[in-house]
Structure 1
């Protein structure tokens, strides 16, 4: 192209040619990366895609951010289909790290409405939508999920309407289907999984739920937040895996010496959560095969070793005990 030709072109034509010319290498690189990405993800999840795979997305209990552990959330993939349990801050990033395409999000389950379990509920769906989601996401859990989603859409109306107008996104509200319940029983049943729930004891926050997922090859139970619960023991009877929250009292009592309002906070924690001893008793009474410890309280203390977390539980439960880590796949 000659200089005379460039300067004789009108401004719009010049800009179109210039942008096209400078973007060609970048477009080529993006296409190459997209072509390679599915191969990498498939290689990482090849064995899991044909069965049931558990990933601990975040293992820290409580709303305070930590450099040691991510916020509490779990992923169960069943023949490649993702089911998310709880949605605290950063869950979309953790799902991406676990190799899940957000555009494939289909189902979310909330155990209760503490912020470390629901803070990113709306954000997760919004980010999935912005990543190409075109099919409905079903959200299961206790009220007031419908009100929460309605408020979230009002708060983000500018972003949502802009992306629909400028990016051609489908209507955001049409992609959310809420299933509210506050009683135990069957929650979902399809060709892959049967999901049931039980009421557990999370002190004054009610309802709080535990979930059981029964698949053709595996049964997995998530305790949610609870103290010792007979309802949970019944729900988890004979399960292959029990993912249970845990509280280490010696470290908690030490931490309370540095916290304002410690007596009130300690009372709440003791009445809301399960000690390392109690979790062993629960797993033994339920007859589960594997106990996975997660939602650690306190979860930001690197001085607490895996042995400390599991020692008392091992006195009562003689199956496999796994001390959870962020993005651990089981």
Structure 2
């Protein structure tokens, strides 16, 4: 890791692949020190956004890359901390007349999400730059959607992509809710390395299986106490029912440091990167304690990612 953003960009392409953590702060409350969840996967000359939280375009520029270079976006699930930057990605590509349509891969509901964003873009697209008679590009023509389900697999560019449903949601298997809403973990097998991105998930045998033998495991992690304290400061008047639902979600649908270590060990991951710090940026003592907790169950290399780190 290290180096200037432009050097990072050059090196990533030269080396044939890199995973860059554009934003490492988990929701639902923004943090002034870390951007919202977003990542950049560099596969040779192809660029892919993996989750697109608020600020993705700005972080992409800081990393030394340009938005027209992005070939596709992968969304692990549709919570707004992972999708809030998609509107800017699509809108700015439309405004700068990027000719090649962007493909958005995501779980069920992605087509509806993108349709809503496209509808919100039309007034600005029609107005254009305010020049009478100026032609405009229909935003709908500049994006394609592929919805992924459990077991999705596809060769995209030089890599093979696989997805499994994880445990970020508790809907009964086969129910209407389960069919309509899914959270996915994604594996990218490149010619020279393999990368597993958990997205948001609780402990999951399916994710462990998908991650088996992976070169780089990029995992979410939650600091429960810090997250609840942050939410309490941000929303002191949250209704009790909403608070109870949030506590249930945070404590069952995410991975603790111990859970992250167990996932890495059971998968036989060669290296572990921890991101999605729900709860905010802790001080150095707390971060060191988190690493110690992970290492109680995993003996391989562990890195707590920062924004714009490259792996």
The alpha-carbon deviation at position 175 of structure 1 amounts to 1.6
Does the 8 A contact of 2:24 with 2:37 survive in 1? Answer: yes
In structure 1, C-alpha distance between the alignment counterparts of 2:111 and 2:182, rounded to whole Å: 16
Q: Which has the higher helix share?
A: 1
List aligned pairs for 1:6-85, cutoff 5 A: 43-50=7-14, 51-85=16-50
Match of 2:177 in 1: none
Output the TM-score relative to the length of structure 2: 0.86
Match of 1:193 in 2: 159
Does the C-alpha gap of structure 1 residues 164 and 149 become closer, same or farther in structure 2, counting only changes over 3 Å?
farther
In structure 1, C-alpha distance between the alignment counterparts of 2:116 and 2:290, rounded to whole Å: 39
In structure 2, C-alpha distance between the alignment counterparts of 1:169 and 1:211, rounded to whole Å: 36
Q: Runs of 5+ in structure 2 lacking a partner?
A: 172-180
In structure 1, C-alpha distance between the alignment counterparts of 2:259 and 2:193, rounded to whole Å: 25
Match of 1:172 in 2: 139
Output the TM-score relative to the length of structure 1: 0.81
Secondary structure, in 3 states, of the residue corresponding to 1:86? Answer: strand
List aligned pairs for 1:1-330, cutoff 5 A: 43-50=7-14, 51-163=16-128, 166=131, 170-186=137-153, 188-204=154-170, 206-252=181-227, 259=236, 260=238, 261=240, 262-302=243-283, 305-330=286-311
Does the C-alpha gap of structure 1 residues 264 and 145 become closer, same or farther in structure 2, counting only changes over 3 Å?
closer
The alpha-carbon deviation at position 302 of structure 1 amounts to 3.8
Instruction: Select between 46-55 and 211-220 the one with higher mean Cα deviation.
Output: 46-55
Write out per-residue CA displacement over residues 235-263 of structure 1, whole angstroms, 9 at most, x where no aligned residue: 11111111100112443465577654454
The alpha-carbon deviation at position 191 of structure 1 amounts to 4.1
The alpha-carbon deviation at position 117 of structure 1 amounts to 0.9
In structure 2, C-alpha distance between the alignment counterparts of 1:289 and 1:315, rounded to whole Å: 16
Q: Which has the higher contact order (CA 8 A, sep 6+)?
A: 2
Does the 8 A contact of 2:57 with 2:89 survive in 1? Answer: yes
Does the C-alpha gap of structure 1 residues 257 and 92 become closer, same or farther in structure 2, counting only changes over 3 Å?
closer
Secondary structure, in 3 states, of the residue corresponding to 1:305? Answer: helix
Write out per-residue CA displacement over residues 37-79 of structure 1, whole angstroms, 9 at most, x where no aligned residue: xxx9764432211311110010011132111211001110111
Does the C-alpha gap of structure 1 residues 250 and 109 become closer, same or farther in structure 2, counting only changes over 3 Å?
same
Does the C-alpha gap of structure 1 residues 301 and 41 become closer, same or farther in structure 2, counting only changes over 3 Å?
closer
In structure 1, C-alpha distance between the alignment counterparts of 2:300 and 2:260, rounded to whole Å: 13
Secondary structure, in 3 states, of the residue corresponding to 2:128? Answer: helix
The alpha-carbon deviation at position 301 of structure 1 amounts to 4.0
CA-based RMSD of the aligned residues comes to 2.3
In structure 1, C-alpha distance between the alignment counterparts of 2:275 and 2:55, rounded to whole Å: 17
In structure 1, C-alpha distance between the alignment counterparts of 2:89 and 2:285, rounded to whole Å: 31
